[in-house]
A and B are shown apart, each in its own frame.
Chain A
Amino acid sequence: MGKIIFEQLNETLYHETLENGLEVYILPKQGFNKTYATFTTKYGSVDNHFVPIGEKEALKVPDGIAHFLEHKMFEDEEGDVFQLFSKQGASANAFTSFTRTAYLFSSTSEVEKNLHTLLDFVQHPYFTEESVEKEKGIIGQEITMYDDNPDWRVYFGVIENMYENHPVKIDIAGTVASIDKITKDLLYTCYETFYHPKNMVLFVVGALEPDPIIKLIKENQGKKTFKEMGDIKRIFDSEPFEVAKKKEVLRMSVHTPKCLVGFKEKNPNRQGSELLKHELAINTLLDIMLGQSSNNYEQLYNEGLIDNSFSFDYSAELGFGFSIIGGDTKKPDQLVASLEKLIESFVNTPLDKKVVDRAIKKKIGAFMRSLNSPEFIANQFTRYQFNEMNLFDVIETLEELTIDELEQKMKEHFDPKLFTVCQVLPK
């Protein structure tokens, strides 16, 4: 088992690639009661067009199937896996994002049993026509719940504006109509293709000793056999450079309008340290431009264009990326006009070294804070791993950012041609 020590942070990470291809990471956390484990496949809502394992022809699957599969994994011949976890004092959950499906538990006792349960249920698909039909009612209500949620609608609305073809524009859960097309056989096809250990990462963090944990994992995996597996072939249609739509307005039952603006990523093919640097740079720039200590925030706030809900974020994966800015506002069009103006002037003004240093300090503090959370460490480490980056390189990368790099990146990213707006207005 490999071992990496991060001295400044006082953390030690253990790592091993198992014979079947599974990547295992273990991070002991002293003083914590709980252990938290995630078992994640590099498979999310965007992987809707691919060549199934053992086949030659590509297949397009219904929208929402990765998320549907996540729901159905919790059922086996014996019934509901939640029941088993709670008998063992654990709380279990799962989530599906654009690019990942993660299964997880946390517990303060019976960690070994719970780890076995996690590995076993995710590696044991069991679907019947009947149970698939039943799930359609439950997920249908989940979709309807999000349909009524204006924050969700405006967020996905702005992403949908950006993309012409890329499946990131499709809602992760699909629609009531699309999930109706899901069958037991399609679920097995997706499962066989994407749930191979070679496509997965197991991360265990918390009150634990690494040696017995890796031993348990190896024993568990050693007992199972998996088909030979080559590289997964995913198919993505080419995506134009420009945004698909400049503006969209949704009408909903709200009192205060919601307004988000976004910038579509120009070069969504970065991976590894290049992506890490880019992501940290754009987020630092957003903070300098619009953070609570900026003049711009002060101005927008005093003009009554934003309130405490105002926020911003940049995120990127292989194939897509975007920054999204906004919140609740009484004057959505005026907010858009002000943002356009201030972003343009920001991009054309040299950065102040003092302000940059302060923003980087803030980012370092925020990263330290997030290391208090086993959930953050496991989920983010896995995400970084799938993008060939290392979570523990964050502080060093932040400290190495130069003003020149930041200035070059801000000119590239905040390009008016890649700007789009989505608003939710009262009916």
Chain B
Amino acid sequence: MNNEVKQTQVNGINLHVVETNKYKTNTIVLHIKSPLVKETVTNRALLPYILQNGTERFPSRQEIRSYLDELYGATLSVDVGKKGENQILSFRMDVSNENFLRDKSPLLEEAIKLLADIILRPSLEAGVFKPQVVENEKRNLKQQIQSIFDDKLRYANMRVTEEMCKDEPYGLNVWGYEAEIDEITREALYEQYTTMLKNDSFDLFVVGDVNNDEINQMVQNHFTFDNDRKPNSVQNDRQPKTDIVKENVVFEEQDVKQGKLHIGFRTNTTFNDDDYFAMQMFNGIFGGFSHSKLFINVREKASLAYYASSRYESHKGILMVMSGIEFSKYDQAVSIIKEQLESMQNGDFTDQEIAQTKAVLKNQLLETIDVAKGHVELLYHNSIASKSRSINDWLTGIENVNKEEIVKVAEKIQLDTIYFLKGKEE
């Protein structure tokens, strides 16, 4: 098993290469990071979608797509995400390893070259992005934003975050705001793009049956920036711990059949902290798995829900609980969930629950790195945080957590916001 990661700096890009022969394809991921800012969030969300619409060599979206098909169906997808208080623009490619094909023409360098073209050599008109492309992608982004409303689970998740982090960058929607889209000009977008090239942090990952030296050479040759890059290391300030005086309770009504209960907690523990592993253990015992307290008590014992789970966002230090319930079961569900937190704080969990959770957390980690894109996401945590943890650090970190440490992190957790999406009163 070879999970070693080779890291270098090439042309101002942090390059991460994982050499492994377990896949039949090679994976390339580029993450571009900058702090979440209200004024630029919508513009930036448009950029990856615009960039995939044409390069100097392949001036239209259709020509790029045809070329990808030629490369034995190489895939290219773009995305916008949130990690802590950062907005991440992502470009992901996956290309067959020609060793498994009858046709042995090399594919990987072509893919890297295409990605570099997409980022650095976009197709332009009068020095800015093409009008038709910008119009199409504005329309697309509007529908993307609306689709959150249409998926009630995602909607409730966005709303609880918004309500909980009203005055913090983390409360911003990474897709931006529909009302701002029409006003965006091509010039403003192009300016945003040049700022991105100059100031944002670039992390490029290549995973597969590859050679690190060759990859370094390819990146050196193809990712050529016109000017020196000066990645901005500015981070949004970490908010000092504030005591939550009163729970914030928000009810919203829509024409739906199932209530969506989302509860946001402040854990006051992040990826950079020493008690990070204890927090992972807390989340595992509390709500991360199907042996966890939330699943057992909300679903199995009380039959209130099909799902009841918790998720820990480690860079911001927020824990979200979510469950889909009948409207009339709100009080019962909230009180069961609160009881589970109290029982964690009181140390009311067994050595067996601890052992179980360690086993599944370790299993989850090892399974994650079996998937190339999973491995990349795991490695990217280190780039986001100011702390670097290897797979082995992670495995030992989990193994060494004891009960007292879990109780300690549990005691730091505070309920901040309860959000409930329910049906309209008849």
Contact = CB atoms under 8 A, between A and B. Distances in A.
Contacts of B357: 86
Interface string B367-391: 1011110000000000000000000
B306 A301 contact: no
Do most interface residues of chain A lie in helix, strand or loop, or is the interface mixed?
Answer: mixed
Given A108-B367, A148-B258, A372-B25, A255 B150 contact: yes
Contacts of A32: 22, 370
Contact of B147 (A90, A135, A149, A256): A256
A302 B132 contact: yes
B372 A141 contact: no
B254 interface: yes
Interface in A81-115: 82-83, 86-92, 106-109
A255 B144 CA distance: 11
Contacts of B336: none
Interface stretch (B120-128, B135-143, B240-248, B267-275): B135-143
Given A364-B101, A369-B96, A307 B140 contact: yes
B136 A304 contact: yes
A293 B68 contact: yes
B70 A89 contact: no
B70 A292 contact: no
A344 B355 CA distance: 61
A364 B103 CA distance: 11
B50 to A, nearest CB: 13
Interface in B168-205: none
B324 A88 contact: no
Given A31-B1, A86-B289, A298-B62, A368 B24 contact: yes
A83 B291 contact: yes
A372 B62 CA distance: 27
Nearest to A373: B371
Contacts of A150: 150-151
A91 B61 contact: no
Interface stretch (B6-14, B71-79, B224-232, B402-410): B71-79
B342 to A, nearest CB: 22
B131 to A, nearest CB: 12
A30 B290 CA distance: 29
Interface string A349-369: 000000000110111111011
B1 A364 contact: no
B287 to A, nearest CB: 14
Contacts of A106: 363, 367
A307 to B, nearest CB: 5
A328 B71 CA distance: 29
B366 A34 contact: yes
A141 B24 contact: no
A363 B101 CA distance: 12
Contacts of B324: 141, 144-145
A254 B152 CA distance: 9
Contacts of A82: 290-291, 295
A427 interface: yes
A89 B360 contact: yes
B94 interface: yes
B281 to A, nearest CB: 14
A91 B363 contact: yes
Contact of A8 (B21, B100, B306, B363): B100
Contacts of B102: 8
Interface string A124-160: 0000000000111111011011011111000000000
A31 B20 contact: yes
B165 interface: no
**Chain A interface: which size bin?**
35 or more
Contact of A33 (B94, B359, B369): B369
B311 interface: no
A141 B306 contact: yes
Given A9-B24, A149-B151, A366-B73, A372 B372 contact: yes
Interface string B343-376: 0000000001001110110111011011110000
Contact of A144 (B258, B303, B362): B258
Interface in B261-315: 289-291, 295-296, 299-300, 303-307
A106 B372 CA distance: 17
B167 interface: no
Given A86-B359, A91-B363, A253-B254, A368 B65 contact: no
Contact of B149 (A8, A92, A255, A294): A255
B23 A372 contact: yes
Interface string A1-28: 0000000111000000000000000000
B366 A301 contact: no
A293 B69 contact: yes
Contacts of B162: none
Contacts of A246: none
A107 B140 contact: no
A58 interface: no
A369 B95 CA distance: 8
30 contacts: A86-B289, A87-B356, A88-B359, A91-B367, A108-B363, A137-B304, A138-B300, A141-B306, A141-B325, A145-B306, A147-B257, A148-B256, A148-B257, A150-B150, A254-B149, A256-B147, A291-B69, A293-B62, A295-B62, A297-B62, A298-B60, A307-B144, A361-B69, A361-B73, A362-B68, A363-B73, A368-B96, A369-B24, A369-B94, A372-B25
Interface of A: 8-10, 29-34, 80, 82-83, 86-92, 106-109, 134-139, 141-142, 144-145, 147-151, 252-256, 258, 291-295, 297-298, 301-302, 304, 307-309, 328, 330, 358-359, 361-366, 368-369, 371-374, 427
- The 3 A-B residue pairs with the shortest CB-CB distance, nearest first, are A365-B73, A31-B22, A137-B303
Given A134-B303, A253-B254, 20 more contacts: A31-B1, A31-B22, A33-B370, A34-B366, A34-B367, A82-B290, A86-B356, A108-B367, A148-B152, A149-B151, A253-B150, A256-B146, A258-B150, A291-B65, A302-B136, A307-B144, A358-B70, A362-B73, A364-B73, A372-B25
